[in-house]
Amino acid sequence: MGQQTEDRGHSCRNIAKPARKMLRKKKVRHDDALFRAAFQQAPVGIALAEGFHFLEVNEEFARILGRTKDSLKGSSWVDITHPDDLEQDLDLFESFLRKETSEYTFEKRFLKPDGSFASAMMRITDIDTENAKRGCRRHLCTLRDIREQKEAEKQLRESERSKRVLLSNLPGMAYRCDFDRLWTMRYLSEGCMELTGYEPEDLLNNHTIAYRDVILPESRDTVWEEFKHTVERKVPFRFEYEILTAQKTRKWVMEIGRGIFDESGEQVIALEGIIIDITESKRRLDRIRYMYTHDYVTGLYNRNKYEREKAILESKSICPVSVIMADINGIRLINDAFGHEEGDRMIAQTARILKECCRVSDLAARTGGDDFCILLPKTDRITAYQRMQVIREACVRYNATISNTDLQINLALGFGTVDHPDQNLRDAEKEAEDYVNKNKLFQGKSYHSAILSSITATLHEHSQETEAHAQRLWNICQNIGERLQLSQQSMEDLHLFSRLHDVGKVGVDDGILNKPGKLTPEEWRVMEKHPEVGYRIAMSAPELAGIAEYILCHHERWDGSGYPLGKAGDDIPLFSRILAVADAYDAMTTDRVYRDSLSKEEALKEIMTHAGTQFDPHIADIFIEIIEDDKG
Question: Residue 160 has what pLDDT?
Answer: 65
Tell me whether residue 144 is in a domain: yes
Question: Residue 375 has what pLDDT?
Answer: 95
474 and 587 share one domain: yes
- 302-334: pLDDT as tens digits: 999 999 999 998 888 888 999 999 998 878 767
632 and 485 share one domain: yes
122 and 239 share one domain: no
Question: Residue 568 has what pLDDT?
Answer: 95
Q: 624 pLDDT exceeds 80?
A: yes
Q: Provide φ and ψ at 320, rounded to 5°.
A: -80, 155
Instruction: Write down which residue in 371, 406, 434 finishes a domain.
Output: 434
C-alpha neighbours within 13 Å on the C-beta side of residue 134: 4
201 and 256 share one domain: yes
Question: Residue 134 has what pLDDT?
Answer: 52
Quickly list DSSP for 238-279. Answer: EEEEEEE-TTS-EEEEEEEEEEEE-TTS-SEEEEEEEEEE-H
- 10-23: pLDDT as tens digits: 555 555 666 666 76
- 557-572: pLDDT as tens digits: 999 999 999 999 999 9
Question: How does 158-183 read in b/e, with b if 16+ C-beta sit within 10 Å?
Answer: eeeeeeeeebeebebbbbebbbeeeb
CB neighbourhood size of 482 (10 A): 13
190 and 73 share one domain: no
What's 506's DSSP letter?
A: G
302 and 356 share one domain: yes
Domain encompassing residue 382: 298-434
Burial tier of 435 (Cβ tally within 10 Å: 0-12, 13-18, 19+): buried
Q: 73 pLDDT exceeds 50?
A: yes
Question: Residue 332 has what pLDDT?
Answer: 75
Of the two residues 165 and 120, the one the predictor is more confident about is: 120
Per-residue pLDDT, averaged over 414-439, amounts to: 87
Tell me whether residue 595 is in a domain: yes
422 and 337 share one domain: yes
What's 206's DSSP letter?
A: T
Q: 548 pLDDT exceeds 50?
A: yes
Per-residue pLDDT, averaged over 78-83, amounts to: 91
Question: Residue 1 has what pLDDT?
Answer: 47
Q: Would you say 409 and 395 are in contact if contact means Cβ atoms under 8 Å apart? A: yes
Per-residue pLDDT, averaged over 431-453, amounts to: 69
The backbone region for 265, taken as left when phi is positive above 0, alpha when psi lies in -120 to 50, beta otherwise, is: left
Question: Residue 321 has what pLDDT?
Answer: 93
What's 132's DSSP letter?
A: P
Beta strand segments in 58-137, E? 103-111, 117-126
Q: Sheet harboring 321-328: ordered strands across? A: 363-366, 371-377, 321-328, 411-418
- 210-248: pLDDT as tens digits: 999 999 999 999 889 888 888 888 888 888 999 999 999
Instruction: Write down which residue in 414, 434, 454 finishes a domain.
Output: 434
**Residue 503's pLDDT band (boundaries 50, 70, 90)?**
confident
* pTM given for the model: 0.49
457 and 568 share one domain: yes
Question: Residue 452 has what pLDDT?
Answer: 64
**Residue 170's pLDDT band (boundaries 50, 70, 90)?**
low
408 and 538 share one domain: no
Instruction: Write down which residue in 434, 454, 488 finishes a domain.
Output: 434
The pLDDT mean for the chain works out to 85
Tell me whether residue 510 is in a domain: yes
- 281-298: pLDDT as tens digits: 888 888 888 888 899 899
Enclosing H/E stretch for 522 = helix 521-527
Overall domain count for the chain: 4
Looking at residue 591, its amino acid is D
% of the chain residues with pLDDT over 70: 85
Question: Residue 560 has what pLDDT?
Answer: 95
Burial tier of 290 (Cβ tally within 10 Å: 0-12, 13-18, 19+): exposed
Per-residue pLDDT, averaged over 502-511, amounts to: 80
Q: Which residues does 108 contact at the CB level (< 8 Å), separation at least 6?
A: 81, 82, 85, 89, 119, 120, 121, 122
What's 181's DSSP letter?
A: T
Q: 595 pLDDT exceeds 70?
A: no
- CA–CA separation, 367 and 310 (whole Å): 13
CATH number at residue 406: 3.30.70.270
Tell me whether residue 450 is in a domain: yes
Burial tier of 148 (Cβ tally within 10 Å: 0-12, 13-18, 19+): exposed
* Lowest mean per-residue pLDDT among 72-81, 397-406, 543-552: 397-406
Tell me whether residue 590 is in a domain: yes
Question: Residue 471 has what pLDDT?
Answer: 85
606 and 499 share one domain: yes
CATH number at residue 278: 3.30.450.20
DSSP collapsed to 3 states, 587-627: HHCCCECCECCCCHHHHHHHHHHCECCCECHHHHHHHHHHH
- CA–CA separation, 608 and 614 (whole Å): 10
465 and 368 share one domain: no
Tell me whether residue 14 is in a domain: no
Q: 33 pLDDT exceeds 90?
A: no
Tell me whether residue 112 is in a domain: yes
% of the chain residues with pLDDT over 90: 41
- CA–CA separation, 220 and 214 (whole Å): 9
Tell me whether residue 209 is in a domain: yes
- CA–CA separation, 300 and 288 (whole Å): 15
- Cα–chain center distance at 48: 77
CATH number at residue 505: 1.10.3210.10
* Lowest mean per-residue pLDDT among 400-414, 418-432, 452-466, 521-535: 452-466
503 and 609 share one domain: yes
Q: 376 pLDDT exceeds 80?
A: yes
CB neighbourhood size of 507 (10 A): 15
Beta strand segments in 262-400, E? 268-277, 321-328, 363-366, 371-377
